[in-house]
Structure 1
């Protein structure tokens, strides 16, 4: 981890949102590589049904995903270089966003049973 990445601080909502984006970036049905870069384009955001949503192989509580629709969260992630600034039209996760450790990996380890 670079010294710059160590200085980036995320609040709880920003961390949860970034973790969801990282999960989506790992799912070939939800993302694709951006040609000639190390960026990852998120091609599909999950939709909640009931109290949960499916993110790749994982089940996530919809309350943990409310940052996906929060403009302030996206603006902060872009300002910190974790997503590209055009997030409102094209969701691009930067290499820094892919590599950032949120500390929330254990929160999303339950795979879907349906």
Structure 2
């Protein structure tokens, strides 16, 4: 029997926000491990125009509306995936790191040119 996809019933905005949080936590110099599988991120990107750069990726601004919206942060915290420090940053919990959003390949585009 396979694991249920999206077992916490996250909505689209929450899934996109968590995907970006996971990517931020992986970036050297941005994600800071703090123990017990948790990673602190206290630096959020700003878009310029229709996109922003996130390490090796480009993310469309339309996929990142949750970065400046407190609602998905509250939901992700309530479900144990982050500890919010809104609007400054967050702590991604071990559960948040491991949660498969299914969106990584859809919203994190490899930056192969200088946009």
Do Structure 1 and Structure 2 share a fold, with TM-score over 0.5?
yes
SS at match of 1:25: helix
Residue pair 1:30, 1:56 contacting (<8 A) in 2 also: no
The Cα shift of 1:43 comes to 2.8
Specify the alignment match of 1:46 in structure 2: 45
Tell me which stretches of 4 or more aligned residues in structure 1 moved more than 3 Å: 85-90
Classify the secondary structure of the residue corresponding to 2:48. Answer: coil
Aligned pair count? 110
If each structure's helix is expressed as a fraction of its own residues, which one has the higher value? 1
Gaps of at least 5 residues in structure 1 are: none
Secondary structure at the residue paired with 2:82?
coil
Match for residue 66 of structure 1? 65
Match of 2:8 in 1: 8
Q: Counting strand residues as a fraction of each chain, which structure ranks higher? A: 2
CA deviation after TM superposition for structure 1 residue 101, in Å: 0.2
TM-score normalised to structure 2 length: 0.85
Q: Which runs of 5+ in 2 are unaligned?
A: none
Residues in 1 aligned to 2:20 and 2:92: alpha-carbon distance in whole angstroms: 11
Give the superposition deviation at 1:110: 2.4
Using structure 1 for the length normalisation, give the TM-score.
0.86
